[in-house]
Amino acid sequence: MTVVINMRDGVDERGIKIAAGFILEGKLVAFPTETVYGLGADALNARAVKRIFEAKGRPPDNPLIVHIADFSDLGRLARDVPREARLLAERFWPGPLTMVLPRDENVPDVTTGGLDTVAVRMPAHPIALALIRASTPVAAPSANISGKPSPTLAEHVIDDFYGRIECIIDGGETKIGVESTVIDLSSERPTLLRPGGLPLEEIEKVIGGIEIHPAVRGKLVDVARSPGMKYKHYSPNAQVVVVEGKRENVRRKIAELVHEYRADGLTVGVMATEEYDADEFFHLGSTEEEVARNLFRALRELDKRGVDIIIAEGIEERGLGFAVMNRLRKAAGYRIVWA
């Protein structure tokens, strides 16, 4: 039996106490953050963290992000906090920024995927912060079955985990819709491991130029230093195709592909910023912020409608568009049509 706690109207102290009790008992709690819903356990309890991997079907070498509620908690997790980390924390925490730092021996191997580093962030969501403050640092990947689209609504979590975890906090729709940006600060030069809810341009204003890890562009890696680097991610059951190029060419190409796939007897869904004559259509919005917020919801919704193939409109790779295109390409298994 899964306890679902309604906090759509804001933090409920009684509900937080119940959920924190589950965390402290080594159980699993799904909760909202400003990015997506997380599936949380006590980050310092190896047995509890192992249950996250079991529930999600997540490979054990795919590290987790530890969520904290106060900068002082870093002392329990990282053995060295460089100047760049302090500058970024002052500017962007709480917020959608994860920093990879040298790991303290206090953190179990299972939490870090066996790495000598730990990924940490402070979420900008009152429910998440209240839960952490009432319990302990919380290890939490996205609250979805491994490889599937991340959840931006409690309903998505219920679809994947009802009856399989102890508690789900329903805090309504998440604000940003894509996961946090991950920056590796454990080596000589800061490196982007995953684009996300904090645009790279904003980070570079604070600490200067940042290298982009080849995995961000689709290069296969043997060791995942961050979630989202090594394994298949964000994929619905339907096949996804991304159409990229100049806007007018993309619109024409999507219309052509809808016609071609229908002629082959396939049911076609389109997710885009403008409407198309398809079997199913999901309007992503008109700004990069709206597209990011609706991205995973669109993939899940079109899947529920039973389409065979999803055609996704590519957007410009700037601001949140960088994260959107990273997720779309991974969801498509890099099946990209250039227009």
CATH number of the domain that 318 lies in? 3.40.50.11030
CB 97 within 8 A of CB 87: no
Q: Are residues 119 and 249 in the same domain?
A: no
Identify whether the C-beta of residue 175 lies closer than 8 Å to the C-beta of residue 320: no
Is there a contact between 100 and 226 (Cβ–Cβ < 8 Å)?
A: yes
Q: What is the CA radius of gyration of the chain?
A: 20
CATH number at residue 176: 3.90.870.10
Please give the annotated binding residues for L-threonine, written as ranges: 35, 67, 121, 140, 142, 180
- Inside any domain, residue 25: yes
Is residue 27 packed enough to be buried (19+ CB in 10 Å), middle (13-18) or exposed (0-12)? middle
Both 185 and 137 in one domain: the answer is: yes
DSSP SS3 for 33: coil
Pair 176, 209 in one domain: yes
Inside any domain, residue 285: yes
| Residue stretches of the annotated binding site | 35, 58, 62, 67, 117, 121, 140, 142, 150, 180, 194, 234
The size of the chain, in residues, is 339
> How many helices (H) does the chain have, and how many strands (E)?
10, 16
Residue 97 belongs to domain spanning: 3-217
Domain-ending residue, one of 160, 184, 217: 217
Whole-number pLDDT of residue 138: 98
CB atoms under 10 Å from CB of 75, counted, come to 11
Q: How do the pLDDT tens digits run along the chain, 339 residues long?
A: 999 999 999 999 999 999 999 999 999 999 999 999 999 999 999 999 999 999 999 999 899 999 999 999 998 999 989 999 999 999 999 999 999 999 999 999 999 999 999 999 999 999 999 999 999 999 999 999 999 999 999 999 999 999 999 999 999 999 999 999 999 999 889 999 999 999 999 999 999 999 999 989 887 665 656 666 655 678 899 999 999 999 999 999 999 999 999 999 999 999 999 999 999 999 999 999 999 999 999 999 999 999 999 999 999 999 999 999 999 999 999 999 999
Contact status, residue 173 vs residue 152, Cβ threshold 8 Å? yes
The domain total for the chain is 2
**pLDDT recorded at residue 52:** 98
- Do 106 and 66 form a contact (C-beta atoms < 8 A)? no
Task: Assess whether 150 and 30 both reside in one domain.
Answer: yes
Q: Residue 315's closest CA among 286, 283, 294, 279? A: 286
Give bridge partners of residue 121 from the DSSP assignment. 67
What tokens appear for 214 in the block?
A: 């080849």
Binding residues for ATP: 58, 62, 117, 150, 194, 234
Give CA–CA dist 98/198, Å, rounded.
10
| 213 and 257 co-located in one domain | no
Phi, psi angle pair for 176, to nearest 5°: -90, -50
Say if 230 falls within a structural domain.
no
Residues 104 and 182 in one domain: yes
